[in-house]
Each structure stands twice: as C-alpha cells, then as structure tokens.
Chains A and B, each alone.
Chain A
Amino acid sequence: QSVLTQPPSVSGAPGQRVTISCTGSSSNIGAGYAVHWYQQLPGTAPRLLIYGNRNRPSGVPDRFSGSRSGPSASLAISGLQAEDEADYYCQSYDSSLSDWVFGGGTKLTVL
C-alpha cells in the first residue's frame, strides 16, 4: 500500500484526453515535495515523463503534461495514441517515511 494513491487503471479512445491522479498527504505532495511521472511500456524500463511537477524532458511530446494542487498531482495525456498504452507511476518524497516513494501505478488502456 503506497502513500501515493493512483487509480489502478484508466482508459480512453484514440484522440481523447485522459488524466491520471496521484493523491498524497501533508507529508509528501501536500508538503511541497516535487512530483515526477514515469511511463513504463510492457517489458521495458521506466522512462521519465515529467519532472518537477510539470517539466518535460527533451523528447517527451507536449501531449503529456503534469500539474500539482495541494496534496495531489495529475498527469494529463491529450490526443491519446495506441503507443501510450503503458503503466504510469508518480513519485515524490515522504518526510514521515524519510524515503522517496512511488505510487502504485496506473495501467492505461487505449480502446
């Protein structure tokens, strides 16, 4: 049971916009610790998608965007494509655990 809660699954049709939530608490996201997002395609290593709440590394399409509000963060994917089907993880720091923590992951299905 992670301290960062993500929905187990989300889905959307090609071209649609989906959002994945990452809900924390006052000891992590709510305390102002940055949130990062990773994409993990089947059978591959995670790939950094968003860092520092809303920044995209070079090479990540602007269809991916991140935001944070209070104790929660969100990853939005617009113009959904079949290649976006993957697992998505949020990450932050938790001061109560004194540890870098990941959310449980969300499986995105493109219908």
Chain B
Amino acid sequence: QVQLQESGPGLVKPSETLSLTCTVSAYSITSGYNWGWIRQPPGKGLEWIGGIYHSGVTYYNPSLKSRVTISVDTSKNQFSLNLSSVTAADTAVYYCARCSCTSTSCFSDYWGQGTLVTVSA
C-alpha cells in the first residue's frame, strides 16, 4: 500500500518561506506517476499548488508560480514544496499526493494525511 507523509514546521512567519517534505513509502517515486501538492484553507475548498513528474519536469498553479518550487530527492524517496513570501492567506492544510496525469487528465489516487501550516508572527 502506497503511503505518503508530510512533514515540516506548523508555524511560519509572514514573508518567510514555507518548506514541507513528503516521504513516500512502498513505491519508488522514480518508477512513474507524478507527485503533487494540494492545499485547503481552514473551512474552505481544495486548491492545486503544483507537482513534479517522475522525469523531473514541474508544473505550478499559475497564481502561485512565482513563489512555488517543487523538487525531488530520489535518494530519500521524497519530494518537497517551498512557498516563499508567505502571508496569512497561505494558512492551510497542505496535502501531498501521488498523481496520475496525462495531457488532459490528472487525478490523485494516494494522499498524505495533511499537515496544518499556520502563517503568523
């Protein structure tokens, strides 16, 4: 059973960089699929942040693109999210997920449990 687990600080100061890591178990991230990040502000809906193909190609939500970097560490079977210049609007539960994507379709079949990141001084 594929498992994903997010880790990182639960509190980030405004203007700083939010950094999260997703550790994948029972599946090698180099074997295929894409790996993505999705977030959910408290009491609100889901928002796609971006992802990385197993080839290393990245794709980002255009509204966040200038602040987002997603990378992979194959030696640790992990992928990471960096979101710079955060504000209170970035407070959310952040999920990592395994994604099955084509040019016209992208869905997430395995999700991490999510981690709440609060942006506050």
Instruction: Name which of A2, A32, A44, A51 has the most chain B CB atoms within 10 A of its CB.
Output: A51
What residues of B have a CB within 8 angstroms of the CB of A99 in the complex? 48, 61-63
Name the interface residues of B27-72: CB closer than 8 Å to any CB of A: 38, 45-48, 61-63
Instruction: Tell me which of A10-18, A19-27, A69-77, A90-98 binds B.
Output: A90-98
**Size of B's binding interface in residues, CB under 8 A:** 20
Of the candidates B61, B104, B105, B109, the one having the most CB atoms from chain A within 10 angstroms of its own CB is B105
Whether A93 touches B104, Cβ cut-off 8 Å, given contacts A46-B95, A103-B45, is yes
Q: Report the bound CA distance from A98 to B63 in whole Å.
A: 10
Residue pair A48, B46 in contact (C-beta under 8 Å): no
Residue of B nearest to A32 (CB): B104
Instruction: Give Cα A47–Cα B113 distance, bound, in whole angstroms.
Output: 11
Closest A residue by C-beta to B107: A36
* Closest chain A CB from B71 CB (angstroms): 19
Centre residue among A48, A57, A97, A99 by max chain B CB count within 10 A? A99
Whether A102 and B109, one on each chain, are in contact in the complex, defined by CB atoms closer than 8 angstroms, is no
Is B105 in contact with A45, judged by CB distance below 8 angstroms? no
Say which residue of B47, B62, B100 sits within 8 Å of A102 (CB atoms): B47
Q: How far is the CB of A109 from chain B (nearest CB, A)?
A: 17
How many angstroms from the CA of A15 to the CA of B95 in the assembled complex? Answer: 33
Find out whether the CB atom of A57 lies under 8 angstroms from the CB atom of B95.
Answer: no
List residues of B whose CB falls within 8 A of some A CB.
38, 45-48, 61-63, 95, 100, 104-109, 111-114
Extra contacts, 9 of them, besides A45-B111, A51-B107, A91-B46 (Cβ < 8 A), are A32-B104, A33-B104, A33-B105, A34-B107, A45-B114, A46-B95, A99-B63, A100-B106, A102-B48
